[in-house]
Chain A
Amino acid sequence: MEFIILILAGVLFATAIYNLLQKQLLRIIIGTVLLSHGAHLFILTMGKLKRGEPPILADGVSEYTDPLPQALILTSIVISFGITSLLLVLAYRTATENNTDNMEQLRGNDNE
């Protein structure tokens, strides 16, 4: 099963990067979202999938899934959420200020 999830992560990476390389701001943000999903699944798989009960201590249970990757992913989800929302507002602001969301036109000034 781990291999299948890793293939899924690979597909998410591939589609994320294809979106990142597009012209439109919205697509790029979609790309970052997909990229973080892929990374989260990647981390989860590294901790081996489904080897026991959820990591909530209970009597009579001896096998738990690995809690450390989950803690790491939880931190990462929150951070990527913060970044995504900031990017969205930034895209909104960029598009309204410059009247375009096309990356080919957003190139900065020549003298910079």
Chain B
Amino acid sequence: MLYIVLIPLLLSCIIPFISKIKHKLHTGLFVFLIPTVIFIYFIRFVGTEFEPVRQSYNWIPSLGINFDFYLDGLSLLFALLISGIGALVVLYSIYYLDKGERLGHFYVYLLMFMSAMLGVVLSDNIFVLYTFWELTSISSFLLIGYWHFKEKSRYGALKSMLITIFGGLSMFGGFILLSVMTGTTSIQVMIQNAEVIMNSPYMPLALGFMLIGAFTKSAQFPFHIWLPDAMEAPTPVSAYLHSATMVKAGLFLVARFSPIFADYEWFFIIVSVAGIVTLCWGSYMAVHQTDLKAILAFSTISQLGMIMAMLGFGTEAAAFAAVFHILCHATFKGSLFMVAGIVDHETGTRDIRKLGGLMTFMPMSAALALFGTFSMAGIPLPFLNGFYSKEMFFQSTLDLPAGANVVATFLVDIIPYLAVFGSIFTFVYSLYFLFGTFAGKKQVDQLPKHPHEAPIGMLLSPFILVLGVILIGLFPNAFNGTFIAHAAEAVAGSAVVENIKFWHGLSPAFQMSLAVVAIGTILVSTRRKWSKVYTFVPGGRSINNIYDAIISKLDSWSRRITTFYMTGSLRLYMAIILSTIMLVTLSFMLVTDGFTINSNDLAPVRLTEIAVVLVIIAAAIGTIFARQNLAAILIVGVVGYGVSLLFVIYRAPDLALTQLVVETVSVALFLLCFYHLPNLRNKKDSTGTRLTNGIVSIGFGTLMTLIGISAHSSDWFGTISDYFLKTSHSLGGGDNVVNVILVDMRGLDTLFEITVLGIAALAIYSLIKIKIKKGTK
């Protein structure tokens, strides 16, 4: 199974070479073989006697991260959708995309996505699942931005990337919590140990994180906003990724983990509410759109919400209905996207206000759209699969188990009404899509191209999908036993026996369907009269605006914060660094009670030394007030000589000698620069700045003194210098211990100190010698 998952990814490496011969052959013809082979591989598993298959390949065994693949009913359903619709989409894209496009890029991204998606649905290891999950986000980003020269494509790609990666990372957090709780990385082992997870205090956190991941990927309210903008992708991509496969990854995640969480009250509340709200909002907003693909995008959002709601219900019948609708939705939505692409391709526009009356020009497309939209609307005809799933949806809303708490009880009461509300609007936008495009007034003159029927090859894929709609509609139970029941079993956690029948009698669910059709018909015919309602809800408020505001605010705030402290002034950076050092050290010392004063072990104070110290202090303070360069340099010299005097007093002859020489040379160097540097006057800061600088410097000096006193007062262990003194003569062969340390015992220091001097000398030489003429930089 590893090879099946990786085949598209591996073969995508040779696509760029094949796409070079595009003058003779469309690259898609070669690519078409890949999903077909995969589809044939998976179709062999279909049957009533299906048993889950498990395979494992080592990747990082030490971390428990392996390519563990697990093929059960749910994975099989998704794998068939991915490869089957993948093949049809590639077939469609052969006719949709011109040979002049960058086909190499397109098919590489598409195959990458196919691998990633197969990996997501087949992985049993959560970290491998996460890896493939992010790969779907990345390849989706690349595909949305396929026409990268368009501003809107880039905007849509970035938006989907930010939102889905945000969700992906959140899901990753949930996965880590789960693996910490159970000590395993395998989903199936987790399901077997569900009670460990349910009893853990981290369970709500893990569930919340995972649901954010699922909701962002499956475009649930309020994370649905990326999906309409993702419609800037080429239509084959919209049909494949944004209706049939990727947006169902979130549903897959919820379905996969629902055996663990299904009994948890808040799982029901959160998932059903998210689903129902998404269903209503998506279908309500779809009627308001003018772009064919935007209608379909909001329709996808609402249908995904419906499936999500059913997964949240947690009953066996709801799980069955959810799985069934995943299959149905993939067939009719895929075909509708392809029809929208055909209309766009043959007329040059997707704006429904400009379209109309295309039935006579494009009878085949119109017929395909008719089946697709009627199935989507759930019109009660025995050959449309959408009706069965809608009926099961209504039935499952009615059969909800009584809630344990107040919120759940309230939800159980209200959900059927919301379901009917969402379905009414589903009916409205389905017919609006169909009649707005193919019926009504002909406006052929205003279209960019003269409309005509699409080539047969282009119609082939939507035709096969519509055939699927009808076949599932006519023989629902043939699909039931072979794989829907197996998939539902994986979701519900126990065997599910459901019989799909067209006629249940005049049941409440059927009455709900009739109500939907009746009210929907009225609303469709009076659409112009009530469409003003959109100026009130949502009006100017939309979640897009909030997203845009967040992005631009984050941008401007971070810019403001950065320009606030990154002023380019080195003095400010210096002050910040020093204050930070000061505050951190001070608070550390205070917290650990580090300041101590112990005067037991001190040398006696003598007047000569006091005099030297006072002179140095006076000179050091004098540097601040000196106005002339010469004065400042000489005062620094006084400090240096004073320090060397202290070295003399404290029995350090070598130091005194070196300090004297170095100080003399330094002063000479200062004097050399003296003529070339401007004078020190007239560079005064404001009082506030001077005060801050004063506080920082005095604070730092005080702190260093205190640290020095504390360090001196605490005697941890003796010195190692006894060794140097003892062995200087015998081992080093010298009596000057300091010099023996420098060249013998710690000679390496000296070597590199010489190197430092050498580098400094070279740098000074080149600074003086190299002159870069202005303008030649």
Contact = CB atoms under 8 A, between A and B. Distances in A.
Partners in one complex: yes
Interface of A: 1-27, 29-30, 33-34, 37-38, 40-42, 44-58, 64-68, 70-71, 73-75, 77-79, 81-86, 88-93, 95-96, 100-104, 106-108
Given A1-B605, A8-B613, A57-B729, 16 more contacts: A2-B602, A6-B705, A8-B616, A9-B705, A11-B617, A15-B624, A18-B694, A19-B624, A21-B696, A30-B632, A33-B666, A74-B655, A85-B764, A93-B767, A95-B678, A106-B570
B712 A45 contact: yes
Of B646, B658, B665, B738, chain A has the most CB atoms within 10 Å of the CB of B738
A5 B3 CA distance: 75
18 contacts: A14-B697, A17-B693, A19-B623, A21-B571, A27-B623, A44-B647, A44-B652, A46-B708, A49-B650, A68-B719, A70-B654, A70-B738, A71-B746, A81-B662, A81-B757, A88-B673, A91-B677, A93-B768
A51 B651 CA distance: 9
Contact of B652 (A14, A22, A70): A70
Of B613, B640, B666, B701, chain A has the most CB atoms within 10 Å of the CB of B701
- Which 4 residue pairs of A and B lie closest in terms of their CB atoms, listed nearest first? A14-B701, A10-B705, A107-B568, A82-B760
Contacts of B620: 11-12, 15-16, 34
B760 A85 contact: yes
A48 to B, nearest CB: 7
Nearest to A82: B760
A90 B767 contact: yes
Contacts of A52: 651
B555 interface: no
A88 B708 contact: no
B49 interface: no
Contacts of A83: 760
Contact of B742 (A14, A56, A74, A79): A74
A25 B735 CA distance: 43
B677 A23 contact: no
B545 interface: no
Contact of B602 (A1, A86, A101, A104): A1
A56 B669 CA distance: 32
Given A5-B613, A50-B650, A95 B658 contact: no
Contact of A96 (B640, B672, B676): B676
Contact of A56 (B602, B624, B737): B737
Q: How large is the interface on B (under 10, 10 to 19, 20 to 34, 35 or more residues)?
A: 35 or more
B641 to A, nearest CB: 11
B600 to A, nearest CB: 11
Nearest to B642: A37
B725 A73 contact: no
Contacts of B567: 107
Contacts of A16: 620, 697
A46 to B, nearest CB: 7
B720 interface: yes
Contacts of A75: 742, 749-750, 753
Contact of B735 (A11, A20, A56): A56
Given A10-B708, A41-B646, A17 B683 contact: no
Nearest to A53: B651
A26 B677 CA distance: 8
Nearest to A84: B666
B575 interface: yes
A82 B756 contact: yes
A55 B725 CA distance: 8
Interface string B612-633: 0100110011011000010010
A17 B700 contact: yes
B577 to A, nearest CB: 10
B129 to A, nearest CB: 43
B659 interface: yes
Contacts of A4: 605, 609-610, 613
Interface string B307-342: 000000000000000000000000000000000000
B509 to A, nearest CB: 66
A23 B571 contact: yes
Contact of B651 (A13, A34, A40, A54): A54
A109 B274 CA distance: 51
B401 interface: no
B653 interface: yes
A71 B748 CA distance: 12
B722 to A, nearest CB: 9
Contact of A18 (B647, B655, B697, B720): B697
Contacts of A48: 601, 603
Contact of A13 (B701, B725, B761): B701
A70 B725 CA distance: 13
Contact of B655 (A8, A49, A53, A77): A77
A23 to B, nearest CB: 5
Nearest to B612: A8
Given A11-B701, A49-B650, A89 B764 contact: yes
A30 B601 CA distance: 34
A77 B568 contact: no
Nearest to A68: B721
A13 B700 contact: yes
Given A4-B609, A17-B700, A34-B620, A54 B603 contact: no
B704 A42 contact: yes
B629 to A, nearest CB: 6
B735 A6 contact: no
A66 B721 CA distance: 6
Contacts of B23: none
Nearest to B614: A8
Contact of B604 (A1, A21, A54): A1
B574 A20 contact: yes
Contacts of A70: 652, 654-655, 738
Contacts of A38: 704
Interface in B720-749: 720-721, 724-725, 728-729, 735-738, 741-742, 746, 749
A35 B649 CA distance: 21
Contacts of B724: 67-68
B146 to A, nearest CB: 32
B702 interface: yes
B459 interface: no
B674 to A, nearest CB: 9
A41 B640 CA distance: 11
Nearest to A7: B705
B658 A108 contact: no
B271 interface: no
A23 B102 CA distance: 57
Nearest to A15: B620
Nearest to A76: B753
B180 to A, nearest CB: 45
Nearest to B613: A8
A57 B700 contact: no
Contacts of A82: 756-757, 759-761
